[in-house]
A and B are shown apart, each in its own frame.
Chain A
Amino acid sequence: MTAPLAPASAQGDARATAEQAAIDEAGQARFDALIEADGRIEPRDWMPAAYRKTLVRQISQHAHSEIIGMQPEANWITRAPSLKRKAILMAKVQDEAGHGLYLYSAAQTLGIGREEMTDQLIAGRARYSSIFNYPTPTWADMGAIGWLVDGAAIANQVPLCRASYGPYGRAMVRICKEESFHQRQGFEILLELSQGTEAQHRMAQDAVDRWYWPSLMMFGPPDDESPNSAQSMAWNIKRFSNDELRQRFVGMLVPQAEVLGLTLPDPNLRWNDETRSYDMSDIDWTEFHEVLAGRGPCNAQRLQHRRQAHDDGAWVREAAHAYAAKQAAATTEQVAA
């Protein structure tokens, strides 16, 4: 960020503009060199306005996704079927709040406040991952979310550990470590269900049937329809294309589904020796766009839940601010006396 210049005259204006142009030119050159060398951009470094804007959008969306993503799983904390599962689930959902916090902090280094981001979210002006607009009607959804949704998130996010913006990349390292535990616990839930009673097995298969396609959609539209991807790849924010990551993810799922004894709901899924990748059915993007447009099963409910928590807590936050202000005033008085 550069300091705002406040010249007193037209002549001053011209000089200031020239100075700013020189700063921008030198900054751009240094930025380009850093990106070229696969180096890291840090908060105090000069950066193009569009780079900053892209990061704020991406990181805040990511943070919102963590926060909204707490709801589908929090839904089962009070009903978890064993005390051990209850403990694991509480720890997992709590991790997600922690991820939201790291990410909001990373976004704050770019000059946006947490309150502003929160306001955007609860006013419905910000995006979050549309996968969280699906409901979680059964316990097996806890397994499928861990295995498929967290799995897809990891596939998307591990490359982000190398994102060119330092605070984002570093936050992602920590998040990915925790996500990998989350995926393992999801896999384990499904394994236990799949090998359990018939009813439990059916519950597991039903959850995989419901979450498989939405999890593949988490990688975003096909490469030729992804408007922001090229620039993000040039800036070393994004490292692999949507389709590359999706293919890699499916390659990971197929053998794991065999271990689970569960079927992935795609009759056309098979290994293609020629392309060295999996052939699969076309994704039905209509549903994705419907959910994205706000017509998913739980879009309104998710925002309402977040808004209510925020509104219900307003008096508590006000109390904390008022208390802090009184303490600060008392300290100042003491120092003055």
Chain B
Amino acid sequence: MATTTDQTAPDSAAPIGRPAGAPDASAGRAAPVSHDISMGVEGEEAHGDVSVDELALSVELSGADGAVATPDVAEYAMWLGDDALILAQQLGWWISRAPELEEDVALGNIGLDVLGHARSFLRYAGTADGRTEDDLAYWRDEPAFRSAWLFEAPNGHFGDTIARQLIASAFQLELYRRLADSSDPALAAIATKSVKEVAYHLDHAAQWMLRLGGGTDESHARIQQSLVDVWPLVDELFRDEPVIDRLEGVAVRPSTLREPVLARIQEILDAAGLETPNVEPSMAGGRRGSHSTRLGYLLAEMQVLARSHPGATW
């Protein structure tokens, strides 16, 4: 039961955050000086070996280092990056507001995953003209964004968020699966990493469709309405734009995704006892910079602090 705490463990020994070259504040002081942030972990103590294992963290962003995107590839990377960024921004709102603590964690995780995808795509997009991921996220105005309207659809209630997520994840899963074979190595690398995560996101959404569709009368009615509300935005995902013609073998042609994505969604809705909505599609034009009303508010919130301090780093 009594374990000896290893005082050389990283947590009890590592100084925190002193920048390279910063003066050692401990020099010549009488006070017990330590930048050690662990408190009370001492050798003689019986329980509680609080050491932080050293981890080799995986590379934060995926995609080929040093590769420079052409303007067309950058445009396409922005489609996918903006879809993911806007979705992450929306999912982040749920943390502390979900129906269960487990869902705070789950929606937070999904948000983090898609934020990672967004950063990878945007970083690559920025190589075309020397902009960073933050330049693209924080300093573009609404018409320069390329997100589809589905991703901009409001969080609404939990069912609205799950309906949006189901469609988003089914779309991204099929898209990334094919993009993994892109002739562009950077896009292929990002897609290869992202596809595994998106498979979990789709499963999460599908599990909730089953529960909301097959739970109570109220939940069934609500989730069915959520589907009807968001369904007009599905069509835009499969619309080809001129840039796609110039990216043969590099990009995935959106129209080729329609059948497999809708089939997968249909399968999940059938299992959940829900009907595929029969509604007219919206003329949504996010890929051309024409956005839903919601995006302006979303960007205002996302960008406010960064724009209040031009030139600052964080």
Report which A residues bind B (CB closer than 8 A). Answer: 38-40, 67, 70-71, 74, 77-87, 90-91, 93-94, 97-98, 100-101, 104, 139, 151, 154-155, 158-163, 169, 172-173, 176-177, 180-181, 183-184, 187-189, 191-193, 195-197, 199-200, 239-240, 245, 248-249, 251-252, 254-256, 258-259, 271, 273, 276, 278, 305, 308-309, 312-323, 326
Contacts A192-B313, A199-B309, A309-B97 hold; do A315 and B112 have CB atoms under 8 A apart? no
Say yes or no: A251 contacts B31, CB within 8 Å.
Answer: yes
**A-side contacts of B311, CB under 8 Å:** 197
Residue of A nearest to B111 (CB): A90
| Stretch of B143-151, B176-184, B281-289, B300-308 with 4 or more beta carbons under 8 angstroms from chain A | B300-308
Q: B50 touches which one: A158, A187, A276 (CB < 8 A)?
A: A158
* Chain A interface, DSSP helix/strand/loop, else mixed: helix
Q: How many angstroms from the CA of A311 to the CA of B33 in the assembled complex?
A: 49
Beta-carbon nearest neighbor of A161 in chain B: B48
List residues of chain B with CB within 8 A of the CB of A77: 92-93, 95
Find out whether the CB atom of A79 lies under 8 angstroms from the CB atom of B301.
yes
- Given A101-B101, A172-B48, A173-B48: A200 in contact with B312 (beta carbons within 8 A): yes
B interface with A by C-beta (< 8 Å): 1-2, 11, 16-19, 22, 25-26, 29-41, 45-52, 60, 85, 88-89, 92-93, 95-105, 108-109, 111-112, 115-116, 118-119, 122, 133-134, 137-138, 157-159, 210-212, 214-216, 218-219, 222, 301-302, 304-306, 309, 311-314
- A124 CB to closest chain B CB, in angstroms? 18
| Further pairs besides A83-B85, A248-B40: 13, Cβ < 8 Å | A70-B95, A71-B96, A78-B89, A82-B314, A94-B109, A189-B314, A191-B17, A193-B314, A196-B314, A255-B25, A315-B219, A319-B219, A320-B211
Of A90, A101, A259, which is within 8 A of B92 by CB?
Answer: A90
Tell whether, in the assembled complex, residue A319 and residue B211 are in contact, meaning their CB atoms are under 8 Å apart: yes
Most buried by B among A97, A197, A249, A254: A97
Q: Take A139-B305, A177-B50, A320-B215 as given contacts and tell me if A313 and B158 are in contact as well, using a CB distance cutoff of 8 Å.
A: yes
The list of the 4 closest CB pairs from A to B, nearest first, reads: A313-B99, A161-B48, A319-B215, A319-B219
* A172 to B103 CA separation, bound complex (whole angstroms): 22
Do A184 and B219 have beta carbons less than 8 Å apart?
no
- B39 and A83 contact, CB distance less than 8 A: no
Q: Are B40 and A239 in contact (CB under 8 A)?
A: yes
CA distance A265 to B102 in the complex (A): 39
Cβ–Cβ < 8 Å partners of A39 in chain B: 1
